[in-house]
Structure 1
Amino acid sequence: MITSLPSSARILAVVAAAALTITAVSGCVFFPRSTFSDDASIDDRVDSVVIDSDSGTVSITGVEGLDVITVNRVIKHYGNPPGSTVTVDNGTLLLEGCGFRCDVSYTIEVPAGTPVSGGTENGLIQLQNLGDVDVSTSNGRIELVDIDGDVEAGTSNGRIKGTGLSGGDIVVETSNGSIELALSTPQNVRAETSNGGIDLTVPRGEYRVDASTSNGRTDIGITDTPDADNEIELRSSNGSISVKSQQ
C-alpha cells in the first residue's frame, strides 16, 4: 500500500531541496568565471602550427622576416587557472585547449608562409599570410587572407571568407553560412554550403564550371571551358551562386 508523507515531512523535504539549490547557486558565487591574459616569446624553430583546442578564437598572422614568435593567450575559466597550453616539438607549434569549462583564445605571429592545420570546436579562426591551410571549427566563421598554398576549411555553423588565395587547390564547406572567395591565381575550387550563398571571384583565365543550387539564382559571369586545366565546382542547397572575373 502506498502512503503519502505527513504534511510536516513534506514541508521538511521542500526546505531541504531549497537548501540544496541555494548551496549550488552559492557555489557559483564562490567560484566565478575569471579572465586573464599572458604573452610569451618563442625562440625555437617553428615549421608548422597545429591547433588542437576545444573552445576559443585562433588568430594567426604570418610576418616576413620574423625571428621571434609571439603568442598572446586570453583564458576564461572557472576554478584554478590552467597551466601551459603551448608547446614546440620538433618544429611543430601546438596550440591546445585548457580543459573543461575553459576557453583559450590565441593571437600569434609566425614566419610568413607557415602551414597551419587542426581546429577548434567553438570559435573563430583567422589566418593571414600563411602557407598550406587545413582547418576546421564546429561553431564559428573562418577568415583567410593571402594564403599561398592548398586550402581545406570547414565549419558547421559559420561563414567562410577568403581573399588573396593563391598557389593551390581550394576545398571549403559549411553547413550553415555563406562562402565568399577571391582568388589571386587560377586554381581548382570546390565549395559547398547547405544554407547560404556562394560568391566566387577569379582571375582571368579558363575554367571548367559546374555550379548548382536547389533554391536560389545562379549567375555565372565567366565562360565554361570544358578542356580547361582548372575546375570550379560549387554547390548550395539554399542560396544563390555567383561567379565573376576580376576586372
Structure 2
Amino acid sequence: MARSVLVRTAATAVVTGVLAAGVSACGASAGDDKHPDHRSFALPGRTLTVDSDDADLEIVAAPANKAGTVQVTRWFKGRVVVGGSPRVSWSFQDDRLKLRMHCDGFIADCSAKYRIEVPRGIRVTVDDGNGDVQARGFTDPLGIHTSNGAVHVTDSTGPLDLHSDNGAVRGDVSAPRVRAETSNGEVDLTLRRVPDRVDATSDNGAVTVALPRAAYHVTAESDNGGVSVSVPRDDRSPRTVSADSSNGKVTVRTAN
C-alpha cells in the first residue's frame, strides 16, 4: 500500500511538472482572442477614471460621433488547469470604469487587453496595477500610473502626468506641461511644441528630453551617468526643464 501511494505521488508530481512547463512555454495571449467583447458606458460628467488590476490598455480619443459614451473592447484568453474557471469583469459607476481579471489556481495562465475610446473634452486618469498603457489623441489633462508596465503617449496636446513603478515612460507629444517619472526604466520624451514645463525623472535608467529650438531654464543631473545639455540655456526663461536620473545618462537636446 505504501509503495502505491509513493508511485501515485511521484506520478502526480511528474504530471504537474509537465503541465506547468507547458503553460510556461505557451503563455496565454489576449491577441489570440478572435471574438472580442464590446460594451458602451454612458459618461455622466467630464472626468473618467480607468481602474484596472491586470491588463494592457490602449486609450484613445474617440471620434465626435461617439460623444457621451465610453466604448470598450476587450480581448481575453485564459486557462486554469487546477482551480476555478478564469473570467474577466467590467463595471461602471459614477466616473469609474473598473476592469478586473479573475485567474486563480495552482496552474493558471491568463491575458487581457482593452481598447478604451473616450469622448474628446474628458479629463482622464488611469490606474493600472499590472500592464502596459498606451494613449493617444488627448487634448485635455491625462494622468497615467502603472505599477508594472510601460507607458507610451503620442499625439496629445493636453497636460500629462505619467508614472510607472517598473517600466519605461515614453512620449511624443505637443503638451504644454509634462511630468514623467519611473522607478525602474528609461524616460524618453519628444516635445513637438515649445513646452512651459517638463519634469523627467528615473531612479534607474536613462533620461532623454528632446525639445523644439528655444531657450530654456534647464536643470539636469545624474548621480551615476553622464549629463549632456545641447539646447540653448537661459536661467531667466519662463520655460523650465528638469531632467534627473539616479543611475543613468541624462540628455536634453534639440529635437530633429
TM-score by length of 1: 0.79
Give the distance between the partners of 2:143 and 2:189, measured in 1 at CA.
Answer: 16
Q: 1:88 aligns with which of 92, 95, 106?
A: 92
Q: How does 1:53-202 map to 2 (within 5 A)?
A: 53-67=52-66, 69-78=70-79, 79-82=84-87, 84-85=89-90, 87-90=91-94, 92-101=95-104, 102-130=110-138, 131-167=140-176, 169-183=177-191, 184-202=193-211
Label 1:230 to 1:107 Cα distance change in 2 as closer, same or farther (>3 A): same
Distance 1:27 1:204, change over 3 A: closer
Conservation of the 8 A alpha-carbon contact between 2:70 and 2:117:
yes
Match of 1:4 in 2: none
CA distance in 1, matches of 2:65, 2:163: 29
The one-letter code matched in structure 1 to 2:236 is D
Q: Aligned to 1:139, what secondary structure does the other structure show?
A: coil
Give yes or no for contact 1:61–1:112 (8 Å, CA) kept in 2: no
Deviations along 1:99-157, whole A, 9 cap, x unmatched? 34454310122223432213222211000012212211122111001223222211122
Match of 1:14 in 2: 6
Say which structure is richer in strand: 1
Separation of aligned partners in 1, 2:12 and 2:122:
53
Partner SS for 1:195:
coil
Aligned residues: 234
Does the residue aligned with 2:9 lie in a helix, a strand or coil?
A: helix
Q: Which amino acid aligns with 2:100?
A: G
Do the aligned residues in 2 keep the contact of 1:132 with 1:147 (CA within 8 Å)? no
Aligned-pair CA distance for 1:71: 1.7
The change in CA–CA distance for 1:225 and 1:43 in structure 2 (over 3 A counts) is same
2-structure distance, mates of 1:70, 1:50 = 14
> In 2, distance between residues paired with 1:176 and 1:185?
28
RMSD of Structure 2 on Structure 1 (CA): 3.0
Q: Is the 8 A contact 2:88 2:99 kept in 1?
A: no
Bigger Cα displacement from structure 2, 40-49 vs 112-121 = 40-49
- Letter of the 1:96 partner, please give it: L
Could you tell me how far apart the structure 1 residues matched to 2:220 and 2:29 are? 48
Tell me the distance in 1 between the aligned counterparts of 2:126 and 2:119: 18
User: SS at 1:97's partner residue?
Assistant: strand
- Partners of 1:165 and 1:105 lie apart in 2 by 27
Letter in 2 for 1:206: A
Query: Is this contact kept in 1: 2:214–2:232, CA < 8 A?
Result: no
**For the residues of structure 1 that align with 2:223 and 2:163, how far apart are their CA atoms?**
21
Q: 1:22 to 1:34 in 2, by over 3 A?
A: farther
Query: What is the DSSP-based 3-state SS (H/G/I as helix, E as strand, rest coil) of the residue aligned with 1:18?
Result: helix
In terms of Rg, which structure is larger? Answer: 1
1:5 aligned residue: none
For structure 2, the residue ranges without an aligned partner over 5 or more in a row are 105-109
Per the TM alignment, residue 81 of structure 1 is displaced from its structure 2 partner at its CA by 4.7
Q: CA deviation at 1:244?
A: 1.9
**Residue identity opposite 1:142 in structure 2:** V
Note if 1:211 corresponds to 2:203: no
* Alpha-carbon shift at residue 20 of structure 1 (Å): 5.3
TM-score by length of 2: 0.77
Aligned 8 A contact 2:86 2:102 in 1? no
